[in-house]
Structure 1
Amino acid sequence: MASPSADDQGPPTSARRERPSRLIDVGVALLLLVADAVIVVVAALLLVAVGLGTAPSPDSSRRVHSRDTPFLAWCVIWGTPAVAAVGAFVHARLRMPVTAVVQALFTLVCGLLAVAWTRMLLS
Structure 2
Amino acid sequence: MAAPTTGSEDTPPPARVRERPSRLVDISVALLLLVADAVIVVVDVLLFVMVGMGRAPSPHSPPTASARDVPVVTWLVVWGLPALAATGAVVHARLRMPFTAVTQGLFTLACVLLAVVWTRMLLA
TM-score range, shorter chain: 0.7 to 0.9
Alignment-derived partner of residue 63 in structure 1: 63
Q: With the length of structure 2 as denominator, give the TM-score of the two structures.
A: 0.86
Alignment-derived partner of residue 28 in structure 1: 29
CA RMSD of aligned residues (A): 1.9
- Structure 2: give runs of 5+ residues left out of the alignment: 1-6
| Cα deviation, residue 70, structure 1 | 1.1
Larger Rg: 2
Q: With the length of structure 1 as denominator, give the TM-score of the two structures.
A: 0.86
Alignment-derived partner of residue 118 in structure 1: 119
| Cα deviation, residue 63, structure 1 | 2.1
* Residues 71-90 of structure 1 mapped to structure 2, 5 A cutoff: 71-90=72-91
- Percent identity (aligned): 67
- Structure 1: give runs of 5+ residues left out of the alignment: none
Q: Say which SS state the counterpart of residue 20 (structure 1) adopts.
A: coil
Give the aligned residue type for 2:89.
Answer: A
Give the aligned residue type for 2:93.
Answer: A
Alignment-derived partner of residue 49 in structure 1: 50
Q: Number of matched residues?
A: 117
Q: Say which SS state the counterpart of residue 81 (structure 1) adopts.
A: helix
